[in-house]
Amino acid sequence: MPDLLHEVSIGNVRLASNLFLAPLAGYTDKVYRSICLENGAALAYTEMVSCEGVARKSEKTVVLMERGEGERNLAVQLFMPDADTARRSLEGVMAYRPAIIDINSGCPVPKVIKTGAGSALLKKPGVIGEIVKAIVENVDVPVTIKIRTGWDTESINYLKTAEEAFNAGAAALCMHARTRSQLYMPYAHWELLKDLKAHFPEKTIIGSGDLFSAQDGVRMLGETGIDAVAYARGAIGNPFIFRQTEDLLSGREARVISTEEKVRAIRVHLAGLVEYLGENTACREMRKHVCAYLKGIPNSARVRQSVTSALTVEEYEAALSQLK
């Protein structure tokens, strides 16, 4: 199925393939984005960045936009409740020289929704259009958007939302094929991605939702006809998923990732976090990643238990040595 693997253009940004890393709060920092890019992701999005935080020059916010090692095309995802908030942030955002700006209209988390941002915008497709237009008119990079199918099953409006976004100048649209009320259960409705692409055949459509393996990515591309896939939860602790998908789409068997390769990735990841955050904070932050990397590896339970209290690189090494 080599025809399903191809280059993608988003505005004037040409990407080597159609396999992306979706934005994930708490996971897609510059260190992990670099690892995923090195392992075959053609584009990796930042964690969600608050436009209000950027406008206020919050250090904790702007650091999320730092470019990772080898990150040629920085894709910054922003969240905001309205066009005015977006405008006020743009000078600060553009200081980080993003290649793409993405608008989050899909986050279902209550603390984001209560501000009027994220999935709350799905109730106001017109406001989404205003936000896209405000950003497009004030930057010289492509603007994209991520949405869900609607707020709930009684208000599925992805076609209207997409129409507003594209009419306002969006260069691409990513849809997580669930409503906000569904959160992440029970399953994503991929048939709606197919419908979205059918309604906007000339537009770049990216799919997300229930992509937990390379096989899932291949199946989504094949069944829906969309242009690209964005791995989210399936990429946590699994940066290898991009190369595996590339293998399958190129007609090869998906490569098998050895325990040694996973341990090597853990070491690279931890070293990057130490440089970025300092040893103590990095070791705390790395715990969730290690548990994800080691999922499914025989006899790894004791390692996961050990790293729950690890505060130094030396303690991580001692824990990982138990896999031998």
Rounded average pLDDT over 90-95:
98
Rounded average pLDDT over 8-37:
97
Q: What is the structure's pLDDT at 181?
A: 81
Rounded average pLDDT over 81-91:
98
Catalytic status, residue 174: no
* pTM attached to this predicted model: 0.95
> At 140, phi and psi to the nearest 5?
-115, 25
pLDDT tens-digit series, residues 240-250? 999 999 999 99
pLDDT tens-digit series, residues 139-151? 999 999 999 999 9
Q: What is the structure's pLDDT at 324?
A: 65
Say yes or no to pLDDT of 70 above 70: yes
Give 230 or 295, the one with higher predicted confidence.
Answer: 230
Q: What is the structure's pLDDT at 323?
A: 84
For the chain, the domains span 2-249, 259-323
Say yes or no to pLDDT of 185 above 80: no
**Cis before 186? omega within 30:** yes
Q: Which fold has domain 259-323?
A: 1.10.1200
The dihedral built from the CA positions of residue 66, 88, 161 and 168, taken in this order, carries a sign that is negative
**Which position among 51, 107, 174, 283 bears the catalytic label?**
107
Rounded average pLDDT over 167-182:
94
Q: What is the structure's pLDDT at 50?
A: 97
Other Cβ atoms less than 10 A from the Cβ of 181: the count is 14
Beta bridge partners of 14: 9
Say yes or no to pLDDT of 1 above 60: no
Q: What's the chain's average pLDDT?
A: 95
Say yes or no to pLDDT of 184 above 80: no
Q: Does domain 2-249 have CATH number 2.170.190.11?
A: no
Closest by CA to 242, choosing from 5, 12, 31, 72, is 5
Say yes or no to pLDDT of 208 above 60: yes
> At 56, phi and psi to the nearest 5?
-90, 0
